[in-house]
């Protein structure tokens, strides 16, 4: 993809097999019907084609262009603008560690660093078994649960390096993993289908993990006269007092030397190196 | 309000009042807590009277700018023969901001009820929720709540009265901070790259599909049902003359009790910290943001600033999203600002040169400063570049990128100089982590 080709222009992308195309066309019709103007369906359609192949392929872009009567260039311009659309094959589970300022300071940098070492992959890379793609992500609106890790866009709150390593080990071993807020994990492809606007049909998925996370209730508890300041601990920490427990994982210490944010990811979020979305450093060139 | 008042007196849970119910998000729970009562009141009123009522109540936008909600509705031209649209901005992505997502997770019907009321007021028959894509648990509950509302007749055929249907579409974004800017959001909802539009024309005249459009924040719209049900006098009994009502304050960072605290506008950070256990044990507040990273940072001397639109403005910052990110003395300001600047550089949509290029160069210089490779002149240079970005781009992303630079230089210039003179960062990041001070090692099964 990064090769420079001279001469023959790239041939049009191949089409989906007929049965796949037929099924996706049916879904596309349903998506387009939600909007007064068909082009509004483009973002959900890109989620839809991502749910088919795990990333947005040229074939997927061609499909979007055809059902919306756009050019593939118009679709490509949109597909490359948004960070949730992957441009290369990736794992079943996208593990995103928040390294925006607040989570980074509270421990997100250390978690990201340790996960890279533990999994032997860098930012936006996938483990050899194809299970886990590691990424650093931006603020995900859960700062009162910092440090936060998202897996397939479900919340794993109040993480430590130890809890995060255990979680990726469980994912790779095929053990069931439950988020602190959200439903039992499904694969990245299945998640993309929900994002395309097709509700999660698994029984009980909506109800899983209860009404609100503990930090969300901090003020309400005080207002109701529960005097102890609510302290947030990982929700599934066995044997730990849910309120006020000083919980940290065994051996979950940050790395010995972690001088500054320069250990943190310097590249911008996932994209292929040929199409950088952010500042290009000298090292990149 | 008095600093010594008990939390029960200072806090006013309205939106959050039943979040502790195990099935908080369901229609049934919502109905048990006066759900859809405000809608009943509103539908019995003339649409223009609803707009006037919300205006008189003084509800102001909770998404950052604080623009009066009723006035936004009033700007929609009536009898123009065009479709009108309501678009709810649920793209919550401002660093530090974490109020709409827990609100929608625990109480999605308050938003839906508010949207039906707003659509009645502005005479709209199609409304949209633009939810950031990275929050699937919330998307799941919105899908379910909308399904419930259709089944109960709050949405769909004749929802607003005989012959007046209302459609509601939940739309998941795809990861772009810029889409929180209302005109970029509209471009994105139209299936384009999310880039801001030049204004005028404003969305009220030419918004979605060039039709009159109201774009409101989640919390603003979710505040409307209780206002309609309990009345504007009740609403005005909280907060101040110019900033009436209740709102969600989000406490995060090195505090003993991070979380959501719903209080009248005008509460102070000191009051919130006092009731929630203060900073983490043995540490002092160093700097904090009143409303996300785009609002100029404040320090310990601003603990008693009333957290309303006027109070925070007078202190030289902005109320913003009421995202109170608190950092203690272990935190390196240069590291914090560098990371925020990397965020703005990554999220700059590229449309305006000052923002696109300026954020890029700020990142290069800040990384050098933090690594001890910069000169003292570079400190003036980042100040100068921030000035070149501020106010010189289409939208507020550029202004937001400049805010942490200006405010950190104002309060902590010597810390930048220390990095230059000492050839590196004097702070130990390990001391800032949540587990830094903890001695008890319990096994966590994750």
Q: Tens of pLDDT along B52-93? A: 999 999 999 999 989 999 999 999 999 999 999 999 999 999
The pLDDT tens digits for B339-372 are 999 999 999 999 999 999 999 999 999 999 999 9
Q: Tell me, yes or no, whether A180 and A102 share the same domain.
A: yes
Greatest extent of chain A over all pairs of C-alpha atoms, in Å? 75
Contact A102 B141 (CB under 8 A): no
Provide the mean pLDDT of chain B: 96
Work out the pLDDT band at B5, boundaries 50, 70, 90: confident
The pLDDT tens digits for B216-237 are 999 999 999 999 999 999 999 9
Work out the pLDDT band at B438, boundaries 50, 70, 90: confident
pLDDT at A260 over 70: no
Least confident range of A214-223, B90-99, B376-385, B436-445: B436-445
In a domain, A234, yes or no: no
Q: What is the pLDDT of residue B263?
A: 98
A47, A139, A179 ranked by CB distance to B174: nearest: A47
Q: What is the pLDDT of residue A229?
A: 46
Q: What is the pLDDT of residue A6?
A: 75
Percent over 70 (pLDDT), chain B: 97
Q: Tell me, yes or no, whether A65 and A112 share the same domain.
A: no
Q: How far is A7 from chain B (nearest CA, A)?
A: 30
User: The CATH number of the domain where A31 resides is what?
Assistant: 1.10.10
pLDDT at B433 over 90: yes
Contact B96 A143 (CB under 8 A): yes
Q: Tell me, yes or no, whether A98 and A217 share the same domain.
A: yes
Q: What is the pLDDT of residue A5?
A: 66
Q: Tell me, yes or no, whether A50 and A127 share the same domain.
A: no
The secondary structure element, H or E, covering residue A132 is: strand A132-137
pLDDT at A176 over 70: yes
Cβ pair B362, B406 in contact under 8 A = no
Rounded to whole angstroms, how far apart are CA atoms A273 and A267?
A: 10
The pLDDT tens digits for A63-80 are 999 999 999 999 999 999
pLDDT at B48 over 50: yes
- Span A269-273, average pLDDT: 42
Q: What is the pLDDT of residue B439?
A: 47
Q: Tell me, yes or no, whether A132 and A179 share the same domain.
A: yes
A78, A154, A206 ranked by CB distance to B191: nearest: A78
Q: What is the pLDDT of residue A9?
A: 79
In a domain, A41, yes or no: yes
Nearest CA in chain B to A260: B429
Q: What is the pLDDT of residue B437?
A: 83
- Span B373-389, average pLDDT: 98
Q: How far is B169 from chain A (nearest CA, A)?
A: 7
Q: Tell me, yes or no, whether A67 and A109 share the same domain.
A: no
Rounded to whole angstroms, how far apart are CA atoms B428 and B446?
A: 27
Percent over 90 (pLDDT), chain A: 74
Contact B434 A259 (CB under 8 A): no
- Span B115-132, average pLDDT: 98
Q: What are phi and psi of B96, to 5 degrees?
A: 100, -20
Q: What is the pLDDT of residue A10?
A: 80
| Residue at a domain's end among A45, A79, A113 | A79
Rounded to whole angstroms, how far apart are CA atoms A131 and B63?
A: 38
- Span A4-17, average pLDDT: 85
Q: What is the pLDDT of residue B4?
A: 57
**Fold type of domain B252-328:** Ubiquitin-like (UB roll) (3.10.20)
**Fold type of domain B8-234:** Rossmann fold (3.40.50)
Q: What is the pLDDT of residue A253?
A: 44
Residues in chain B within 8 Å Cβ distance of A144: 98, 250-252, 258-260
End-to-end CA distance of chain B: 42
Q: What is the pLDDT of residue A258?
A: 39
Q: Where are the domains of chain B?
A: 8-234, 252-328, 333-431
Q: Tell me, yes or no, whether A68 and A105 share the same domain.
A: no
Contact B8 A223 (CB under 8 A): yes
Q: Tell me, yes or no, whether A73 and A24 share the same domain.
A: yes
pLDDT at B276 over 80: yes
Where in the sequence is the domain holding A183, given as residue range(s)? 93-187+212-223
In a domain, A248, yes or no: no
Q: What is the pLDDT of residue A234?
A: 41
Percent over 90 (pLDDT), chain B: 95
Q: What is the pLDDT of residue B11?
A: 97
pLDDT at A270 over 80: no
Q: What is the pLDDT of residue A2?
A: 61
Q: Tell me, yes or no, whether A66 and A159 share the same domain.
A: no
Please determine, looking at this structure, whether the domain spanning B333-431 carries the CATH number 3.30.930.10. Answer: no
In a domain, A250, yes or no: no
| Beta-carbon contacts below 8 Å between A and B | 379
Percent over 70 (pLDDT), chain A: 78
In a domain, A97, yes or no: yes
Contact B444 A279 (CB under 8 A): no
| Residue at a domain's end among A54, A79, A104 | A79
Q: Tell me, yes or no, whether A151 and A217 share the same domain.
A: yes
pLDDT at A62 over 80: yes
Q: Tell me, yes or no, whether A141 and A170 share the same domain.
A: yes
The pLDDT tens digits for A196-239 are 999 999 999 999 999 899 999 999 999 999 865 444 444 443 33
Q: What is the pLDDT of residue B273?
A: 97
User: The CATH number of the domain where A179 resides is what?
Assistant: 3.40.30.10
Provide the mean pLDDT of chain A: 85
The pLDDT tens digits for A121-171 are 999 999 999 999 999 999 999 999 999 999 999 999 999 999 999 999 999
Residues in chain A within 8 Å Cβ distance of B286: none
State the ipTM, two decimals.
0.95
Greatest extent of chain B over all pairs of C-alpha atoms, in Å? 74
Residues in chain A within 8 Å Cβ distance of B188: 43
In a domain, A219, yes or no: yes
Q: Tell me, yes or no, whether A101 and A217 share the same domain.
A: yes
Which of B289, B296, B122 lies closest to B216, judged by CA? B122
Contact B250 A143 (CB under 8 A): yes
Classify A57 in phi/psi space as left (phi over 0), alpha (psi -120 to 50) or beta.
beta
Residue A158 DSSP SS3: coil
A85, A154, A231 ranked by CB distance to B256: nearest: A231
Number of domains in chain A: 2
- Span B262-286, average pLDDT: 97
- Span A18-44, average pLDDT: 98
Q: What is the pLDDT of residue A8?
A: 81
């Amino acid at each position: 993809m990064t090769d420079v080709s001279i001469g023959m222009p790239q041939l049009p992308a191949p089409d989906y097999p007929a049965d796949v195309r037929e099924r996706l066309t049916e879904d596309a019709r349903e998506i387009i019907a939600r909007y007064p103007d068909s082009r509004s369906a483009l973002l959900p359609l890109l989620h839809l084609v991502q749910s088919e192949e795990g990333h947005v392929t040229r074939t997927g872009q061609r499909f979007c262009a055809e059902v919306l009567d756009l050019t593939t260039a118009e679709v490509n311009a949109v597909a490359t603008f948004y960070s949730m659309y992957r441009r290369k094959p990736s794992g079943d589970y996208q593990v995103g560690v928040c390294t925006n300022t607040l989570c980074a300071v509270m421990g997100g940098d250390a978690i990201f660093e340790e996960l890279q070492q533990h999994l032997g992959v860098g930012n936006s890379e996938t483990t050899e078994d194809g299970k886990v793609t590691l990424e650093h992500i931006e603020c995900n609106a859960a700062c009162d649960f910092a440090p936060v890790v998202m897996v397939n866009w479900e919340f794993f709150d109040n993480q430590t390096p130890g809890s995060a390593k255990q979680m990726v080990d469980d994912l790779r071993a095929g053990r069931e993993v439950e988020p602190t807020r959200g439903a039992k994990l499904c694969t990245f492809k299945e998640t993309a289908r929900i994002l395309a606007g097709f509700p999660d049909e698994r029984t009980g998925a909506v109800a899983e993990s209860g009404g609100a996370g503990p930090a969300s209730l901090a003020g309400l508890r005080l207002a109701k006269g529960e005097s102890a300041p609510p302290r947030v601990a990982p929700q599934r920490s066995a044997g730990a007092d849910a309120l006020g427990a000083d919980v940290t994982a065994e051996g979950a210490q940050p790395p010995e030397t972690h001088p500054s944010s320069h250990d943190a990811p310097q590249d911008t979020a996932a994209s292929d190196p040929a199409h950088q979305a952010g500042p290009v450093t000298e090292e990149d060139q | 309000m008095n600093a010594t008042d008990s939390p029960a007196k200072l806090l006013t849970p309205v939106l959050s009042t039943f979040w502790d119910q195990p099935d908080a998000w369901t229609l049934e729970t919502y109905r048990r807590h006066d759900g859809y009562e405000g809608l009943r009141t509103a539908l019995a009123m003339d649409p223009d009277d609803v707009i006037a009522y919300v205006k008189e109540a003084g509800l102001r936008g909770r998404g950052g700018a604080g623009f009066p909600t009723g006035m936004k509705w009033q700007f929609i031209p009536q009898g123009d023969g065009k479709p009108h649209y309501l678009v709810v901005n649920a793209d919550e992505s401002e660093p530090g901001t974490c109020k709409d997502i827990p609100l929608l997770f625990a109480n999605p019907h308050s938003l839906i009820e508010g949207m039906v009321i707003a659509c009645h007021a502005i005479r709209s028959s199609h409304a949209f929720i633009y939810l950031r894509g990275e929050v699937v648990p919330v998307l799941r509950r919105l899908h379910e709540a909308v399904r419930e509302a259709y089944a109960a007749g709050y949405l769909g055929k004749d929802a607003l009265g005989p012959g007046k249907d209302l459609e509601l579409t939940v739309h998941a974004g795809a990861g772009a901070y810029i889409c929180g800017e209302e005109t970029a959001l509209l471009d994105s909802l139209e299936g384009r790259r999310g880039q801001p539009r030049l204004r005028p024309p404003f969305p009220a005249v030419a918004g979605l599909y060039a039709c009159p459009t109201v774009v409101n924040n989640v919390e603003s719209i979710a505040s409307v049902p209780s206002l309609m049900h309990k009345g504007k006098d009740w609403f005005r009994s909280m907060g101040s003359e110019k900033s009436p009502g209740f709102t969600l304050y989000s406490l995060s960072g090195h505090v003993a009790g991070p979380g959501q605290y719903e209080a009248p506008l005008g509460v102070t950070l000191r009051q919130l910290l006092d009731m929630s256990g203060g900073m983490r044990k043995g540490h002092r507040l160093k700097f904090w943001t009143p409303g996300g990273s785009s609002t100029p940072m404040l320090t310990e001397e601003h603990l008693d600033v009333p957290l309303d639109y006027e109070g925070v403005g007078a202190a030289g910052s902005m109320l913003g999203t009421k995202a109170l990110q608190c950092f203690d003395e272990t935190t390196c300001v240069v590291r914090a600002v560098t990371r925020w600047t990397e965020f703005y550089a990554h999220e700059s949509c590229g449309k305006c040169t000052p923002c696109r290029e300026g954020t890029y160069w700020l990142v290069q210089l800040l990384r050098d400063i933090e690594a001890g490779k910069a000169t003292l002149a570079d400190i003036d240079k980042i100040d100068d570049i921030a000035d070149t970005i501020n106010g010189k781009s289409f939208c507020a992303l550029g202004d937001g990128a400049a805010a942490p630079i200006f405010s950190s230089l104002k309060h902590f210039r010597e810390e930048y100089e220390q990095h230059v003179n000492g050839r590196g960062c004097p702070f130990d990041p390990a001391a800032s982590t949540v587990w830094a001070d903890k001695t008890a090692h319990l096994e966590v099964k994750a």
